Amino acid sequence: MFDLHYAPENWGVRPTLFSLFGIDVPSYGFFVALGLIVGGLWYWHEARKEKQANENTFLIGVAAIIGGAFGAKLLELIINPAYVIAHFTDPEALLSGRTIIGGLLGGWLAVRAAKHWLGIEGRRGNLFAPAVALGVTVGRIGCFFRGCCYGTPTSMPWGVDFGDGIARHPTMIYEALFTFGLFLYLLHRKRGHPAPGALFTEFLNGYFTFRFFVEFIRVEPQFWGLSVFQWISLAALAFINWQSIRRLFSPRNKSDKANYIRRKIGQKRR
């Protein structure tokens, strides 16, 4: 069976998006970069609305982008070391072949490190959640055009041939639709003034749950009946919810709750 994850240039719906001054612009790289820009701009837009647009907020956002990019490639190296090492000097290969799950984990760790370094105690997850959902939505369009992250064969009328003559589930579009719906949901939830960090927890729960189930119709190597990404999703869900339960009983959570209640009372008086 062909491996479209590392496909020749003529595979995919539109591997090259356009040419500019004789230089081919790859669809995958273009939309991943666009997703980072759109997500970053939305993050800053929300920070300005919340009157948190300051140097620390900017630095945390930069840390998220750098950590996300590094984590996305690192997980790919762990999962497919032979390919990454064999194409280490190929610029296109280095810029492609990234994983969203690795990006989420890398970005989360980088933000925690940046907050510790800057001495920031408050949770910023409510700023990040909609921005990340929107960025993932845009980035997955690039995956669709490139033909990576493809699904299993299907007889459904919306099946897509990515280059091997077989109609497959366009799982990248499924994910883009889901994350855009998640983006709209998070915007709606934000109007209710959720507790600090609640939106990012909801985003992670939603994304990893979706990712666990969509993997059943993706073509991925399996270990003990599940793909690597399914095992990571299960571990992430367990960790996220363990952290949420632990936080309920922490002294810091009581302080966050008190600030949250004061803010809610202040908003009702306006």
Instruction: Write the CA distances from 53 to 14, 41, 47, 48, 104, integer angstroms.
Output: 38, 12, 5, 5, 23
Most confident of 69-78, 111-120, 179-188, 194-203: 179-188
Mean pLDDT of the chain: 79
- For the cut 70, the answer to whether the pLDDT of residue 177 exceeds it is yes
Of 40-49, 118-127, 235-244, minimum mean pLDDT range: 118-127
Q: Is the distance from CB of 151 to CB of 219 less than 8 angstroms?
A: yes
DSSP SS3 for 37: helix
For the chain, helix (H) and strand (E) counts, in that order, are 10, 6
pLDDT given at position 74: 72
pLDDT of residue 148: 81
Band (82; pLDDT cuts 50, 70, 90) = low
Of 168, 144, 164, 165, nearest to 155 (Cα)? 168
pLDDT at 7 over 80: no
CA atoms of 251 and 133, how far apart (whole Å): 30
Q: How far apart are CA 183 and CA 194, in angstroms?
A: 15
